[in-house]
Amino acid sequence: MKLVENKDMSSHTFTHLDALESESIHIMREVAAECKNPALLFSGGKDSIVMLRLAEKAFRPAKFPFPLVHIDTEHNFPEVIACRDKLAADLGERLIVRSLEDSIKRGSIVIKDPDKPRNPYQSVTLLETIAEFGFDACMGGARRDEEKARAKERIFSFRDEFGQWDPKNQRPELWDVYNTRVHAGENIRVFPISNWTEMDIWEYIAREKLYIPEIYYAHPREVIRRGNSVIPVSHLVQPKPGEKVEVLSVRFRTVGDMTCTAPVESTARDAREIIEETATTRITERGATRMDDQTSEASMELRKKEGYF
Partner 1 sequence: MSNAIQLLRLITAGSVDDGKSTLIGRLLHDSKSIFEDQLSAIAKTSEKRGMAAVDLSLLTDGLQAEREQGITIDVAYRYFATPKRKFIIGDTPGHEQYTRNMVTAASTANLAIILVDARKGVLTQTRRHTYLASLVGVPHIVLAVNKMDMVDYTEETFNAICAEYRAFAAQLGIHDVTCIPMSALNGDMVVEHGDNLSWYKGAPLLELLENIVIDYDVNTTDFRYPVQWVCRPQTQEHHDFRGFSGRIESGDVAVGDEITVLPSGRSSKVKEIVTYDGRLQRAYAPQSVTLTLEDEIDISRGDMFVKAGAIPQVAKEFEATLCWLAESPLDLNRKYIIKHTTRMVKCLFSHLEYRVDVNTLAHHAASALNMNDIARVAMKVQQPLVLDHYGKNHSTGSFIVIDEATNNTVAAGMVA
What is d(CA 176, CA 6) in angstroms, rounded to the nearest whole number?
Answer: 31
Choose between 234 and 284: whose C-beta lies nearer to partner 1.
Answer: 284
Tell me: does residue 227 bind partner 1 (CB under 8 A): no
Query: H or E element: which one contains 260?
Result: none
What span, in angstroms and rounded, lies between the C-alpha atoms of 149 and 144? 8
Residue 175 DSSP one-character state? T
Name the segment binding partner 1 (CB under 8 A); options: 42-50, 116-124, 178-186, 253-261.
178-186
Q: Which of 39, 49, 58, 126 binds partner 1 (CB under 8 A)?
A: 58
Q: Residue from 86, 167, 276, 295 that binds partner 1 (CB under 8 A)?
A: 167
Q: Is 176 a binder of partner 1 (CB under 8 A)?
A: yes
Q: Is 194 in the site for partner 1 (CB under 8 A)?
A: yes
Kindly list the distances between the CA atom of residue 278 and the CA atoms of 199, 210, 233, 253, 283, in Å, as whole numbers in the listed order. Answer: 7, 18, 25, 10, 9
Minimum CB distance to partner 1, residue 194 (Å): 8
Q: Give the span between the Cα atoms of 85 and 70, in whole angstroms.
A: 10
Query: Closest CB to partner 1 among 170 and 249?
Result: 170
Candidates 110, 113, 183, 235: give the one binding partner 1 (CB under 8 A): 183
User: Any idea how long the chain is?
Assistant: 309
Residue 262 is a binding residue for partner 1 (CB under 8 A): no
CA dihedral 211, 14, 51, 165 (to 10 degrees): -150
**Is 29 among the residues that bind partner 1 (CB under 8 A)?**
yes
Which listed range, 94-102, 105-113, 142-150, 235-243, lies at the site for partner 1 (CB under 8 A)?
A: 142-150
CB closer to partner 1, 110 vs 279: 279
CB of 294 to partner 1, least distance (A): 9
For residue 231, the SS3 value is: strand
Instruction: Give the distance, in angstroms, between the CA of residue 63 and the centroid of all CA atoms in the same chain.
Output: 22
Per-residue DSSP letter, 216: G
Binding status of residue 184 toward partner 1 by CB under 8 A: no
Residue 20 binds partner 1, judged by CB under 8 A: yes
Query: How far is Cα 27 from Cα 150, in angstroms, rounded to an integer?
Result: 17
* SS3 label, residue 222: strand
Q: Which is nearer to partner 1, 16 or 272 (CB)?
A: 16
Q: For partner 1, which is the closer residue by CB, 173 or 243?
A: 173
Using CB under 8 A as the binding rule, whether residue 282 contacts partner 1 is answered as yes
From the number of C-beta atoms within 10 Å of its C-beta (0-12, 13-18, 19+), residue 147 rates as: buried
Applying CB under 8 A, among 8, 184, 220, 240 the residue interacting with partner 1 is 8
Instruction: For residue 195, state whether it binds partner 1 (rule: CB under 8 A).
Output: yes
* Residue 59 engages partner 1 in binding (rule: CB under 8 A): yes
100: Cβ–Cβ under 8 A, 6 or more apart, which residues? Answer: 71, 72, 73, 74, 109, 118, 121, 122, 124, 125
Residues binding partner 1 (CB under 8 A): 1, 3-10, 13-16, 18-23, 25-26, 29-30, 32-33, 56-63, 144-145, 148-149, 151-152, 167-168, 170-179, 181-183, 194-195, 197, 199-200, 281-284, 287-288, 297-298, 301-302
